[in-house]
Amino acid sequence: MRPAANQPSQPAPLQAEQKRPPVPADSGYRAPWWLPGPHLQTIWPLARKGLAPPYRRERWETPDGDFIDLDWLDGPADAPLVALFHGLEGSSQSHYAIGLMRALAAKGWRGVIPHFRGCSGEPNRLARAYHSGDSEEIDWILRRLHPAAGGAPLHAAGVSLGGNALLKWLGEREHTAANLLASAAAVCPPLDLAISGRHLATGFNRVYTRHFLATLKLKALAKLTAAPELFDAARLRRAASLFDFDDLYTGPVHGFAGADDYWLRASSKPWLRAVRLPTLLLLAANDPFVPPAAQPEAAELSPAILFERPASGGHVGFLTAPWPGDTGWLARRLLSHFEARQDTI
């Protein structure tokens, strides 16, 4: 896989006659009255995820000598296959992953969750890990999944970090993405990493940042055993923000000059106009990770993107009544989108 520095540059602006972007549509989602505010809508669903269906784990060796682990939801060989790219420090045990895989099982479809490097429960081998703009990894995974679909439709969903990486891939592979996928969906992607990253360093959002850094730091520090020259351990331990962490580790290790360069070049927002595959973009207006300044205007969207922006939902929350909350709305919305695009590749 090529390093980040060799990834395609940002797309040219659309010509005037191509600008036919949709306005945000009504997803039909309404938050329960007893779950007010973006933070409760983000946190409470974490306690409602339930049990995952039985997974079959498979390990793939990467071209650069590393590995990734995939958790499969098996089903009929001719059933559609849905690949889910998880969020920052997520996995097949994340609440949204469990919800989607349970819905797929009930429908008789197949599913697969490729874990980004180091997220499957076992450290990866190399100094590198994963990042928000890792569209090269997305490309390699989808090219291996396509034959595994066996001629049935292959759909892809990305959540948060995974959604940003998937959208970037869709824009970069503007005219070729349809060779692999029937449709795609991105749920609560950060889109503009600089805006979201800095927003997560303010107010109550610092709680989320501390949660992420707790595991990110441990994983990065463990890499010093094999590569002690990789970064300054004391400086990493002092990192109090995602900017600090990305400036010291994520950016330089993955081919960027630092956090500013990484956040600029890994953001998917500049690529949204180039997306040609039918894609659902679902983003709550009150998402605490994606403030209004990071959310797209109509002119920044390709006509292929169906942009739904409910007023509430938090960050990958979308819980519905009755009490204590139903987590199934998000999976149902994704499956509805995928069902509408049942073209066999």
pLDDT the model gives residue 91: 98
From the candidates 247, 287, 302, 312, give the one annotated as an active-site residue.
Answer: 287
How is residue 157 written in tokens?
A: 């969903």
State residue 14's pLDDT score. 45
* pLDDT, tens digit, 9 for 90 and up, residues 63-118: 999 999 999 999 999 999 999 999 999 999 999 999 999 999 999 999 999 999 99
Write down the pLDDT at residue 1. 41
For residues 48 and 50, what is the distance between their CA atoms, to the nearest angstrom?
Answer: 6
User: Does 161 map to a domain?
Assistant: yes
Question: Given the DSSP bridges, would you call strands 183-187 and 154-159 parallel, antiparallel or unpaired?
Answer: parallel
* Confidence class for position 2, pLDDT limits 50, 70, 90: very low
Average pLDDT of the residues in 327-345: 88
The pLDDT of residue 344:
47
Burial class (CB in 10 A: 0-12, 13-18, 19+), 177: buried
What pLDDT does residue 163 have?
98
Q: Of 131, 155, 254, 315, which residue is the catalytic one?
A: 315
pLDDT digits (tens, 9 = 90+) for 22-38: 468 888 999 999 999 99
Task: Using alpha carbons, select from 90, 99, 50, 37 the residue that is nearest to residue 324.
Answer: 50
pLDDT at 343 over 90: no
Among candidate residues 82, 80, 75, the one with its CA nearest the CA of residue 114: 82
User: Which is catalytic among the residues 160, 268, 302, 312?
Assistant: 160
Residue 169 lies in a domain: yes
Residue type, 325: G
Task: Write the CB contacts of 45 (distance below 8 Å, at least 6 apart in sequence).
Answer: 95, 314, 316, 317, 318, 319, 325, 327
C-alpha angle 137-297-12 in degrees, rounded to nearest 5: 55
Residue type for position 331: A
* Domain extent for 26: 4-192+266-339
Is 315 one of the catalytic residues? yes
Any domain includes 240: no
Q: Which residues of 242-273 are buried (b: 16+ CB within 10 A; e: fewer)?
A: bbbbbbbbbbbbbbbeebbbbbbbbbbbbbbb
Asked whether residue 121 is domain-assigned, the answer is yes
Q: So what's the pLDDT on residue 16?
A: 36
Note whether residue 89 is domain-resident.
yes
All residues at 6 or more sequence positions from 203 whose CB lies less than 8 Å from its CB, including other chains: none
Q: Residue 70: its pLDDT value, please?
A: 98
Residue 287 designated active-site: yes
What is the pTM (predicted TM-score) of this model? 0.93
**Confidence band for 10, pLDDT divided at 50, 70 and 90:** low
Q: Which two tokens stand for residue 50?
A: 């339930």
What H or E segment, with its residue span, contains residue 306? Answer: strand 305-308
Average pLDDT of the chain, as a whole number: 93
pLDDT tens, position by position, 305-325: 999 999 999 999 999 999 999
What pLDDT, on the 0 to 100 scale, is given for residue 5? Answer: 47
In a domain, 174, yes or no: yes
Residues 6 or more apart whose Cβ sits within 8 Å of residue 179: 345
pLDDT score at 9: 56
Least-confidence region, from 8-22, 97-111, 215-229? 8-22
CA-nearest of 45, 34, 22, 17 to 188 is 45
Mean pLDDT for 187-208 is 98
Q: Report if residue 344 sits inside a domain.
A: no
At 7 the pLDDT is 52
Q: Is the pLDDT of residue 126 over 60?
A: yes
| 239 occurs within a structural domain | no
pLDDT of residue 341: 85
% of the chain at pLDDT higher than 70? 92
Domain count, the chain: 1
Which of 7-21, 177-191, 233-247 comes out lowest in average pLDDT? 7-21
Query: What CATH number is attached to the domain comprising 157?
Result: 3.40.50.1820
